[in-house]
Chains A and B, each alone.
Chain A
Amino acid sequence: MLVTVLAGGSAVYAFAQSADAPAAAPAAPAATAHETPTPPGGTYHSAIPPENRRAFFGEMHLHTTMSFDAWTFGTKVTPDMAYKFGRGETIMVPAEQVARQQDIHDKGDVPAKRAWPLDFMAVTDHSESMGVLTQLDDTSNPLRQTDLAQKLLKEPGQAFYLVAGDIEGGGGTSTGASNLQALNPAAARQHAWDLEMKAANDNYIPGKFTTFIAYEWTSSPDGKNLHRNVFFNSDHAPLPFTSADSNKPEDLWSYLEKARADGIDVLAIPHNGDASGGLMYDWNMSNGRPMDEAYAQRRAMNEPLTEIVQIKGQSDTVPALSPNDEFANFEIYDRLIARPSIKSDPNGSYVRQALGRGLVIRSEVGTNPYKYGFVGGSDIHNGLTTSDENSTASNSFGLDPNTMMPSADRAKRALEIIPTIARLDTDAARNHTPPAKATPLEQGSAGLTGVWAEENTRNSIFAALRRKETFATSGTRMRLRMFGGWGFDAKTIKNANWVALAYAHGVAMGSDLPARPAKASAPAFILEALKDPDGANLDRIQIIKLWLEGGTYKEKIFDVALSGNRHVAANGHAPAVGNTVDLKTGKYTNSIGATMLTAVWRDPQFDPKKPAVYYARVLEIPTPRWSTLLAIKNNVPIPARLPATIQERGWTSPIWFTPG
């Protein structure tokens, strides 16, 4: 076993070294002939019945050295290495990367292994200038002699602004690199895309580890985040669309629709609504006019899912929008990403509000544009996807806690004990003013996507994404299920066969409730949450309901399952679960909470005339935040600016009710 692992590790690095060689011919994607992709609009059929679907955990958002910004941060891990790390192999992280990112200078290349292997994964490098800067890592590349290259190698941070300028400006050349023309961007991008496709295909092991060819479209008009990740169900894909081609989502959809017309199914997943300054879930279209039905239909078709959590905060909701939600104050990142001095307007920036707005827009134009299921991701920028609290120390980097933990001053900078300046501040760069103060404490650990699928294959997992039978977590492996129907009651889940019954007589999360039978009073929901097998117990399951009420929407939260002997009080709130975290050691115990929570909940305030949407949120008992663990390990005070403990959580995709 050991031999295999080591051999795997060295093979990875050999690839990394040859990956950027200029003389290498563009690599054709390796064939994965086992499987014919389900065609666009087609239905995936499995011999396995739905009740035997199982939860698979994956990473849907990761950057490697091929992303222009990751390169400027010193990332050298390639897509191939990133996939191997994700599936549990030991890889060697190049010495230059650990020196620049963790201040580890004396160990050469450093081994790194994920704490537990993922089931599926997609590398989503920025399409803009993809692979253009990595060319400069090849010391034999003549482009290194250009003035631009010399400048970038001396000050890699400048490269960010050269490309970021294109992204914020949102126009220019079709190469997505108008400022990097001297670096032969068109050829570099083609080479990079071939390499991305090959890495995804080479690391796909049907049944064990699924990969998707994917990329990130990085539209940021005025720094407001409209980013989308694009995922293909195929072993080849057209050259990525860039924000220089267009920064309007409508144009990205045209690209997706063209790919589908050409036989490749593809979807886009928006992320970081929290940093969109109100643009992500706007009432209006890109041209500022109120949404029409054609737009709503295209959005729903092209974007079935949205990313609700990642290192730059959760996009569920914030206290400003949900004042009655006592758990809304969790991992908030409410500033524009590359313009850290500017606060992001919460209105139009959060998913919960989008679900409500969707009901309103549907009542006006006939289609709900915001019929989103949920995924979670990391958005880590050093190629190492980790999601445990002990595997993060901010700065968009994943870590092997055994070999890569930053210490001394590097740890103090992550904890804001030693102040630093923002790594990205386009306003300061443009105005030649000092950059804003960095706020590394505000980054959380990564999120994860859970899918319920028959098999660990591209077709099966892509079908689960399409039908939104998904859930997101803030990084733990809790397994969440929700079903909706009209005939469920407390007896249903006593049946050992209840999952089969739930599929047969109801719908899974991500779907519309079946038409209401004449005699049915209110919909009932079956909920089941199982803890992370290596993690903390569960505190509670909540249902979050939004419904249409007099031209606008309302929101209400119900505690539907509580661990221990707790009950909802007359004021609608349940007592807190408690907190076992020892702030001296960073340890907690599972002496409170539950390993599993289940509930059958019937909406007590149902009105059959009012459209509604329901989703579940499941909370863990309090556990130490990464910043607490890092402070304890380095024997420095736990930062007071953010909570020392957090309640990790998961969100199920919603179920919708529409009056018949």
Chain B
Amino acid sequence: MTTESAPGRMMPAASGLAAARGLLRCVAREPLTHFILFGFVLFILSRIYDEQQNVYRIVVTPAHVAQLARSYALQFGAPPDPVALEALVERDIHDEVLFRQGVALGLDQGDEIVRRRVVQKSQFLMQDLNAPAEPSDAQMLAYYKAHESRYVTPPRVTFSHIYFSLDNGGDAEARARGVLAKLPAGLHRAPDKGDVFPDLYDFAAYEPEQVQRLFGRTPMSDAVFKAPVGKWSGPYLSGYGWHLIHIDARSPAALAPFKDVKDRVHVDYLQDAQDRANKAAFDDLARRFTVIREDQGQAP
């Protein structure tokens, strides 16, 4: 058709197109058009969104069915057979229908159990989002130095004792004093100088708690952590009788070296960091809220 067209015949068409263009340009500049177009796009988008999010549309995905089957297996020890699985899905749909209806009616509002559950989930979410980074050795060392009191080991004592039973007649305390006076210098152990003791004579690196378990909450248990080191002293009374003791070595309560407690420092560091991150995240969140304590007389 166009090949047969005379140039003259082209004119009106050309001028018509230009007019149309002008009109279009005019319309395109018109705010009302913007409004209508924007509305249309919104309409389409919301249709698409509704298609996906329709509260009256329940999509059962294969992944969800697999999840139902897993829960069942966990509870009953075996996977569900097809009949049981179908029943599980039916029940899940039944519950979902009621759940959505309930939410639509606002039944979740003002329910303490729902509120607590949501609070809990928020907390978990916050923790997940704020997981602390792995600390470097330098960070852990700094932490250890700042919290030394947590890494103190109890005092320890290495000692030998001579036992004087209360059962063997005579004055056990006096017998002990007599033996003490005659103990030759340089002797580190001399169990034979006293009575037979039905447990050990020599104790290596014992903590106060271990000493107490055997000798009771008695002067003897205190004495091994106070008596002079490197010589015999006593007698001291235990739950069983009198004792002379020779302290070979004793270490006071001391800070454990960093390398020995690095694992504990690591755990403590991460726990502390998590606690701090949680608090910071909450404080951030809480700043967005205005709290009016009418109960304390604040005006709304």
Q: Residues of A at under 8 Å CB distance from B?
A: 1, 3-4, 7, 21, 23, 54-55, 88, 116-117, 119, 139-140, 142, 144-145, 184, 186-187, 190, 479, 481, 493, 496, 528, 530-535, 563, 594-596
Q: Quick check: A531 and B239 within 8 Å, CB to CB?
A: yes
Determine the chain B residues whose CB is within 8 A of the CB of A140 once the complex forms. Answer: 113, 116-117, 120
Least Cβ distance of B256 to chain A in Å?
12
Determine the chain A residues whose CB is within 8 A of the CB of B215 once the complex forms. Answer: 533
Determine the chain A residues whose CB is within 8 A of the CB of B212 once the complex forms. Answer: 116
The contact of A116 among B74, B120, B192, B213, by CB within 8 Å, is: B213
Determine the chain A residues whose CB is within 8 A of the CB of B152 once the complex forms. Answer: 1, 4
Give me 22 A-to-B residue pairs in the complex whose CB atoms sit less than 8 angstroms apart, sorted by A's number: A4-B150, A4-B152, A21-B120, A116-B213, A139-B113, A139-B116, A140-B120, A144-B113, A184-B75, A186-B76, A496-B191, A530-B199, A533-B214, A533-B239, A534-B216, A534-B239, A535-B239, A563-B167, A594-B167, A596-B167, A596-B198, A596-B240
Q: Contacts A1-B154, A3-B150, A21-B120 given: A595-B166 contact, CB under 8 Å? A: yes
Q: Quick check: A187 and B238 within 8 Å, CB to CB?
A: no
Q: Quick check: B213 and A117 within 8 Å, CB to CB?
A: yes
Q: Quick check: B240 and A3 within 8 Å, CB to CB?
A: no
Q: Quick check: B209 and A187 within 8 Å, CB to CB?
A: no
The residue in chain B whose Cβ has the minimal distance to the Cβ of A594 is B167
Report the separation of the CA atoms of residues A533 and B241 in the bound assembly, to the nearest whole angstrom: 10
B149 at the interface (CB under 8 A from A): yes
B103 at the interface (CB under 8 A from A): no
Report the separation of the CA atoms of residues A568 and B121 in the bound assembly, to the nearest whole angstrom: 75
Q: Quick check: B124 and A595 within 8 Å, CB to CB?
A: no
Determine the chain A residues whose CB is within 8 A of the CB of B150 once the complex forms. Answer: 3-4, 7
Report the separation of the CA atoms of residues A594 and B121 in the bound assembly, to the nearest whole angstrom: 64
Q: Mark B50-89, 1 if CB is under 8 A from A, else 0.
A: 0000000000000000000000001110000000000000
The number of chain B residues touching the other chain, given as a range, is: 35 or more
Q: Quick check: A187 and B120 within 8 Å, CB to CB?
A: no
Determine the chain A residues whose CB is within 8 A of the CB of B192 once the complex forms. Answer: 496
The contact of B120 among A23, A88, A481, A594, by CB within 8 Å, is: A23
Q: Quick check: A187 and B239 within 8 Å, CB to CB?
A: no
Report the separation of the CA atoms of residues A23 and B116 in the bound assembly, to the nearest whole angstrom: 12
Q: Contacts A139-B116, A187-B74 given: A496-B167 contact, CB under 8 Å? A: no
Least Cβ distance of B233 to chain A in Å?
20
Q: Quick check: B124 and A88 within 8 Å, CB to CB?
A: no
Within 8 A of A (CB), among B234-262: 238-241, 253
Q: Quick check: A88 and B241 within 8 Å, CB to CB?
A: no
Report the separation of the CA atoms of residues A142 and B191 in the bound assembly, to the nearest whole angstrom: 67
Determine the chain A residues whose CB is within 8 A of the CB of B165 once the complex forms. Answer: 595-596
Q: Quick check: A595 and B117 within 8 Å, CB to CB?
A: no
Q: Quick check: B74 and A533 within 8 Å, CB to CB?
A: no
The contact of B209 among A88, A145, A190, by CB within 8 Å, is: A88
The residue in chain B whose Cβ has the minimal distance to the Cβ of A595 is B240
Determine the chain B residues whose CB is within 8 A of the CB of A187 once the complex forms. Answer: 74-75
Least Cβ distance of B169 to chain A in Å?
10
The residue in chain B whose Cβ has the minimal distance to the Cβ of A530 is B198
Q: Contacts A142-B113, A595-B239 given: A528-B198 contact, CB under 8 Å? A: yes
Report the separation of the CA atoms of residues A535 and B238 in the bound assembly, to the nearest whole angstrom: 11
Least Cβ distance of B55 to chain A in Å?
22
